[in-house]
Amino acid sequence: AKAPVTVTVTGAAGQIGYALLFRVASGQLLGSDTPVRLRLLEIPQAVKAAEGTAMELDDCAFPLLTGIDITDDPRTAFDGVNVALLVGARPRTKGMERGDLLEANGGIFKPQGEAINAGAASDVRVLVVGNPANTNALIARSHAPDVPADRFTAMTRLDHNRALSQLSAKLGVGVADIAKLTIWGNHSATQYPDIFHAEVSGKPASELVDEAWLAEEFIPTVARRGAAIIEARGASSAASAANAAIDHVYDWVNGTASDDWTSAAIVSDGSYGVPEGLISSFPVVSRNGAWEIVQGLEVNDFSRQRIEASVQELTEERDAVAALGLI
Ligand code: NDP
d(CA 71, CA 40): 6
Statement: residue 92 has pLDDT above 90: no
Just list the catalytic residues: 187
- Is the distance from CB of 88 to CB of 10 less than 8 angstroms? yes
Q: What percent of the chain has pLDDT over 70?
A: 100
d(CA 123, CA 148): 9
Amino acid in position 79: D
pLDDT, one tens digit per residue, over 229-287 is: 999 999 999 999 999 999 999 999 999 999 999 999 999 999 999 999 999 999 999 99
Say how many C-beta atoms besides its own lie within 10 A of residue 272's C-beta: 20
Burial label for 121, CB within 10 Å (0-12, 13-18, 19+), is middle
Q: What atom of ligand 1 comes closest to residue 244's alpha carbon? A: 18
pLDDT of residue 193: 98
126 DSSP β-pair partners = 84, 152
pLDDT, one tens digit per residue, over 12-68 is: 999 999 999 999 999 999 999 999 999 999 999 999 999 999 999 999 999 999 999
Statement: residue 93 has pLDDT above 90: no
pLDDT of residue 137: 98
Alpha carbon 23 to its chain centroid, in Å, reads: 16
Burial label for 223, CB within 10 Å (0-12, 13-18, 19+), is buried
87 CA distance to ligand 1 centroid (A)?
5
**N-term to C-term CA, the chain:** 41
**What confidence tier does 82 reach under pLDDT thresholds 50, 70, 90?**
very high
Nearest residue (CA) to ligand 1, atom 27: 14
pLDDT of residue 99: 85
Q: What atom of ligand 1 comes closest to residue 10's alpha carbon? A: 40
Nearest residue (CA) to ligand 1, atom 13: 130
**What confidence tier does 96 reach under pLDDT thresholds 50, 70, 90?**
confident
**What confidence tier does 305 reach under pLDDT thresholds 50, 70, 90?**
very high
Nearest residue (CA) to ligand 1, atom 3: 15
Nearest residue (CA) to ligand 1, atom 35: 11
Nearest residue (CA) to ligand 1, atom 10: 130
212 CA distance to ligand 1 centroid (A)?
34
Statement: residue 94 has pLDDT above 90: no
193 CA distance to ligand 1 centroid (A)?
23
* 3-class DSSP string for the chain: CCCCEEEEEECCCCHHHHHHHHHHHHCCCCCCCCCEEEEEECCHHHHHHHHHHHHHHHHCCCCCEEEEEEECCHHHHCCCCCEEEECCCCCCCCCCCHHHHHHHHHHHHHHHHHHHHHHCCCCCEEEECCCCHHHHHHHHHHCCCCCCHHHEEECCHHHHHHHHHHHHHHHCCCHHHEECCEEEECCCCCCEEECCCCEECCEEHHHCCCHHHHHHHHHHHHHCHHHHHHHHHCCCCCHHHHHHHHHHHHHHHHCCCCCCCEEEEEECCCHHHCCCCCEEEEEEEEECCEEEECCCCCCCHHHHHHHHHHHHHHHHHHHHHHHCCCC
> How much is the pTM?
0.97
**What confidence tier does 308 reach under pLDDT thresholds 50, 70, 90?**
very high
| Residue among 8, 43, 136, 247 whose CB has most ligand 1 atoms within 8 A, to mutate | 43
Measured from CB, residues less than 6 Å from any atom of ligand 1 are 10-11, 13-17, 41-43, 46, 87-91, 108, 129-131, 133, 158, 226, 236-238, 241
d(CA 120, CA 77): 10
12 CA distance to ligand 1 centroid (A)?
9
pLDDT of residue 10: 98
| Residue among 230, 236, 246, 317 whose CB has most ligand 1 atoms within 8 A, to mutate | 236
| Residue among 10, 16, 18, 165 whose CB has most ligand 1 atoms within 8 A, to mutate | 16
90 CA distance to ligand 1 centroid (A)?
7
Q: 262-267 and 279-287: which strand pairing?
A: antiparallel
Nearest residue (CA) to ligand 1, atom 8: 130
- Is the distance from CB of 238 to CB of 229 less than 8 angstroms? no
